[in-house]
Amino acid sequence: MMQKNIKRMATMQRMQVTGLELFYKNGFYNTSVDDILKELDLSKGAFYYHFDSKEDFFIQIIENLLVRKVYSMLIEPVEGHSNTTDLIMKCYDDALETAVHNEMDFGFVLGNFIGEFNGRNPKIMKHLNDIIRIWEVNLVSVIQRGKFEGHIDRHADAEGVALFIMSSFMGVRTLMVETAPSARKYRFMSQLRVFLKSIENKQPVL
């Protein structure tokens, strides 16, 4: 029984990873179930045994792959208890480094899908917005903790700082796709450093 479950999980994982690559390359609406079956060498019966529809397949990809990736790339790294601004710098530096090497990068996949589904599919948009909300809530609490621990100026607007970091990250990720990714990353990170320095607590911590 356990063997069978492990095999099923491995199959599901393979289907979802391949599905995500296809949806990322061609877009959700330009990818048919037949395209997915061809890529995975699966029968229609096998696909519908696991998933109710293409939409259900995509939602499971969001729940399993996208949430996990965003968590490990943008949330977990800033959850430490050392200097808040250093943690944020390192986290975004590492996240953008994956983009420099042009791996299929999830911070950006998220931006792509939000663009594709916005106004077209409220059900999928809800799932994508949940990821953004988790990311945002986490970042706000990290900044608030930084204020509490004396790393960040107590007058800093935690919600505003989080929004600024998230939107500039998603923006630079988009701009890095075609043009000089490592130069753009370097310029972005040096400006992020200037910004984070500006919100650091200048008073000595007693």
What are the angstrom distances between the C-alpha of 131 and each of 6, 38, 171, 193?
27, 30, 17, 25
What local confidence, expressed as pLDDT, does residue 114 receive?
A: 92
Q: How far is residue 110's CA from residue 127's CA, in Å, rounded to a whole number?
A: 11
Report if pTM > 0.75.
Answer: yes
pLDDT tens digits along 174-191: 888 877 889 999 999 999
Give CA separation, 159 vs 20, 67, 85, 139, in Å. 31, 21, 15, 8
Q: What is the pLDDT of residues 21-75, one digit of tens each?
A: 999 889 999 999 999 999 999 999 999 998 999 999 999 999 999 999 899 999 9
Per residue in 8-23, pLDDT tens?
Answer: 888 888 999 999 999 9
| Residue 159: band (very low, low, confident or very high) from pLDDT cuts 50, 70, 90 | very high
pLDDT above 90 covers a percentage of the chain that reads 71
Contact 130, 71 (CB under 8 A): no
How does the average pLDDT of the chain come out, rounded?
A: 91
- Residue 80: predicted pLDDT: 81
* pLDDT at residue 98 greater than cutoff 80: yes
Quote the CA–CA distance of 176 and 132 in Å, as a whole number.
20
Superfamily, domain 1-51: Homeodomain-like (1.10.10.60)
**Protein fold of 55-199:** Tetracycline Repressor; domain 2 (1.10.357)
Domain-wise residue ranges, the chain = 1-51, 55-199
pLDDT at 165 over 90: yes
